[in-house]
């Protein structure tokens, strides 16, 4: 059988409410020479049954089952199985416009680009509302350096892997694997951009991101906040080991200031959720010092597969101790 032009990777975990719509949008793509690698990451709902039904109907849909290890591990599992010349990713609660694959592929081929990117919409299922994401890149072809600077700033183009098609060689010639952490997109996309020669941007919104309360951004905890901070360290570490940090020093520092604001919000919401602001200022201080370390002159890179650790991790707000009121003795 001839190898497909595109492999579309979809990690799945307990998304029975959204999965039919997601897979139907893939099924309806105008571009037909593609395969779909669905990796069920230990779902406990009906996600597997839904995926199996689509695999029965579509010969180019494949399902892999594994124990729950997280989306990064699921993407790595799929990478080991995909055969496409280009690789794309999709979150299982999102959905595609019909020409998502066609237009991204055509732009990549026409411009001999290693990565092809599109704009996207935010979709709010409770309100059935779709809003165009502003502040996206002007359409055109960019060099690696220019595109990576825009990516690091997270303005004009964004860290998400799901609104992009990437040449297979960028993964396999560089032994690329997703780091098994939250916010793995932030840690991964700069590496792929660095490996590329040309990146093309389309002005059309071809991907629909579903904003829901159970997403990473809406369910922050200590581990997720620390991984958000860590993702900056992973970018810095990669650039240091490639001896390319000086070219992006200013952009890393600017992004670090933005990361502080985002992190302060996450920390505030963490304490608000626990209804306890004890240690709040200590956590804000820890976030500040860790981010400053990853963007500052004292940073020491790690080698090989060892990822940098957050030097001053966020801690969980302590539980409030309820003080029992003493009962007053009644006097006769």
329 pLDDT tier (thresholds 50, 70, 90): low
**What is the token pair recorded at 90?**
């999709």
What pLDDT score does 127 carry?
A: 83
Q: Please give the pLDDT value at position 325.
A: 56
The predicted pLDDT at position 9 comes to: 98
Residue 107 pLDDT class (50, 70, 90 cuts): very high
- Thinking of the domain 6-216, which architecture would CATH place it in? Alpha-Beta Complex (3.90)
Strand duo 61-66 + 198-210: pairing:
unpaired
Domain chopping of the chain, boundaries? 6-216, 220-295
pLDDT digits (tens, 9 = 90+) for 241-299: 999 999 999 999 999 999 999 999 999 999 998 899 999 999 999 999 999 999 999 99
Q: CA torsion angle for 250, 159, 129, 9 (degrees, to 10)?
A: 170
**Rounded to whole angstroms, how far apart are CA atoms 23 and 20?**
5
pLDDT digits (tens, 9 = 90+) for 213-232: 655 555 789 999 999 999 99
- The string of pLDDT tens digits covering residues 14-31 is 999 999 999 999 999 999
In the structure, what pLDDT confidence band is assigned to residue 203 with cuts at 50, 70 and 90?
A: confident
Band of pLDDT at residue 331, cut at 50, 70 and 90:
low
pLDDT class of 326 with cuts at 50, 70, 90: low
pLDDT of residue 214: 53
Distance between CA atoms of 243 and 47, rounded to whole angstroms? Answer: 44
**Cβ atoms of residues 121 and 209 within 8 Å:** yes
Share of the chain above pLDDT 90, in %: 82
What is the pLDDT at residue 132?
A: 84
The better pLDDT of the pair 240, 323 is held by: 240
Q: Is the pTM of this model over 0.75?
A: yes
Mean local confidence (pLDDT), 33-57 = 98
Residues 138, 24: Cα–Cα separation, whole Å: 30
Q: Name the H helices within 118-181.
A: 144-153, 168-172
Write down the pLDDT at residue 215.
52
pLDDT of residue 211: 86
- Please tell me which residue, 53 or 217, carries the higher pLDDT value: 53
Work out the number of other CB atoms within 10 angstroms of the CB of residue 304.
6
pLDDT at 183 (0 to 100): 93
Report the chain's mean pLDDT, rounded to a whole number: 92
CB environment 8-21: b (16+ within 10 A), e (fewer): bbbbbbbbbebbbb
Please report the pLDDT score of residue 327 as a whole number. Answer: 58
């Amino acid at each position: 059988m001839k190898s497909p032009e595109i492999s579309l990777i979809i990690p799945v975990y307990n998304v029975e409410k959204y999965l039919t719509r997601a897979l139907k949008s893939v099924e309806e793509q105008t571009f037909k020479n593609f395969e779909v690698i669905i990796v069920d990451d230990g779902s406990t709902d009906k996600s597997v049954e839904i995926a199996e039904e689509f695999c029965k109907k579509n010969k180019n849909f494949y399902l892999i089952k594994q124990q729950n290890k997280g989306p990064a591990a699921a993407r790595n599992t799929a990478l080991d199985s995909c055969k496409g010349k280009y690789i794309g990713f999709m979150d299982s609660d999102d959905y595609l416009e019909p020409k998502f694959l066609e237009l991204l592929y055509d732009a990549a081929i026409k411009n001999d680009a290693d990565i092809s990117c599109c704009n996207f919409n935010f979709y709010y299922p409770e309100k059935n509302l779709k809003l165009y994401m502003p502040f996206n890149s002007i359409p055109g072809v960019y060099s690696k350096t220019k595109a990576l600077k825009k990516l690091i700033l997270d303005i004009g183009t964004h860290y998400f892997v799901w609104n992009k098609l990437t040449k297979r060689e960028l993964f396999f010639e560089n032994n690329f694997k997703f780091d098994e952490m939250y916010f793995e997109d932030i840690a991964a996309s700069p590496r792929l951009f660095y490996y590329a020669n040309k990146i093309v941007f389309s002005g059309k919104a071809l991907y629909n991101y579903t904003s829901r309360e159970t997403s990473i951004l809406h369910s922050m905890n200590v581990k997720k906040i620390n991984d958000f901070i860590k993702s900056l360290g992973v970018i810095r570490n990669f650039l240091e080991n490639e001896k390319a940090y000086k070219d992006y020093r200013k952009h890393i520092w600017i992004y670090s200031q933005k990361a502080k604001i985002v992190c302060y919000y996450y920390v505030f919401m963490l304490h608000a959720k626990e209804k306890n602001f004890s240690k709040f200022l200590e956590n804000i201080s820890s976030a500040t010092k860790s981010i400053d370390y990853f963007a500052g002159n004292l940073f020491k890179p790690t080698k090989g597969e060892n990822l940098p650790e957050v030097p001053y991790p966020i801690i969980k707000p302590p539980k409030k101790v309820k003080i029992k009121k003493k009962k007053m003795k009644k006097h006769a």
